[in-house]
Amino acid sequence: MLKRTSIVNKTKNGIIHDEHQYINLISDILNYGSLEESRNGNTYTVFGASMHFSLENKVVPFITTKKLAWKTCLRELLWFIKGDTSNKRLNQQNVNIWNGNASRDFLDSRGLNYLEEGDLGPVYGHQWRFFNADYVNCDTDYTGKGIDQLSYIINSLKNPNERNSRRLVMSAWNPCQLEQMALPPCHVLCQFNVINGNKLSCSLYQRSGDIGLGVPFNIASYSILTHLIAHHCNLEASDFYYYLGNCHIYDDHVEPLKEQLNRVPYDFPHLEITELCDNINDYKEEMFTIKNYNFHESIKMNMRK
């Protein structure tokens, strides 16, 4: 059996860049991945990978070897933060990445015929803000119901006596409600940690990673989230640690990703958050400014549902 390379090696052609971890993972899967028949297509698959991105000095690791739709990513993140589960409200912001999973046919295939089309069930936002609250529909007010994991983390981080807790964990994986979700969560658990009094880092475990399309979004989303929570709690964003279980490349993504392998990364951009809100729910897209985002042209790949 061929031995996989080390993804933590960030050097390519003598140049050190955090993005090479992602590029090396693509290469690793193409060279050593096992061809597997999965729920929604054939994939080249490896199990287990990790990456580490510095967030110091307001750096945000947006992939540069192709254009990242970062505004779509940000809009989805703010939707999570509000505890929203309505795809229709995402569509109103021109975000269509959940459309395949919110369709009538897909919901019915999951046995969710009782949900209206566009209602995704108790997915990420519901678990972040109202963990395990009985789910009615995406328009129900769940205030005061379930467990608000995000508020617990924020309140702890704002308290100097609690911010170094090792219990600042937020889980989207709720076995009690998985069958009510349009799609069980891929990024299932994150943990926040403070060292040196004010340096905030985040680690994420993701059970399943679509390397071509999903993973760049996930890197960006949790890095923005870390910056936002640091800003909101008067801390400094430090590092994002990313751990993946099943890492896969769909067979029709192979050729586009081979093209990406030949591109040289640019410097990562920087994130400025222009306002400080009292409530984490009140941050809006226009309060986030991305500076000096240089990127190669877009690479088209089909999204799976």
Contacts of 303 (CB under 8 A, 6+ apart): 97, 100, 213
Question: Which secondary-structure segment (H or E) carries 12?
Answer: strand 11-12
For 99-140, give the DSSP string: HHHHSHHHHHHTT-TTSPTTB--S-HHHHHHHBTPPP--TTS
User: Rounded to whole angstroms, how far apart are CA atoms 19 and 55?
Assistant: 13
**First CA to last CA across the chain, in angstroms?**
32
Question: Which secondary-structure segment (H or E) carries 219?
Answer: helix 214-232
Max intra-chain CA distance, the chain: 56
User: Rounded to whole angstroms, how far apart are CA atoms 17 and 21?
Assistant: 8
Where does 67-220 show beta strands of DSSP type E?
A: 169-171, 187-195, 199-210
Could you say which of 73, 186, 190, 202 is catalytic?
186
Backbone angles phi, psi at 224, to 5 degrees: -60, -45
Tell me whether residue 233 is one of the annotated catalytic residues: no
Look up tokens 């000095």; give the residue.
Answer: 57
Look up tokens 């996989």; give the residue.
Answer: 4
Contact 204, 189 (CB under 8 A): yes
User: Rounded to whole angstroms, how far apart are CA atoms 69 and 23?
Assistant: 18
User: Rounded to whole angstroms, how far apart are CA atoms 210 and 111?
Assistant: 24
Report the SS3 class of residue 216.
helix
Which residues are known to be catalytic?
A: 186
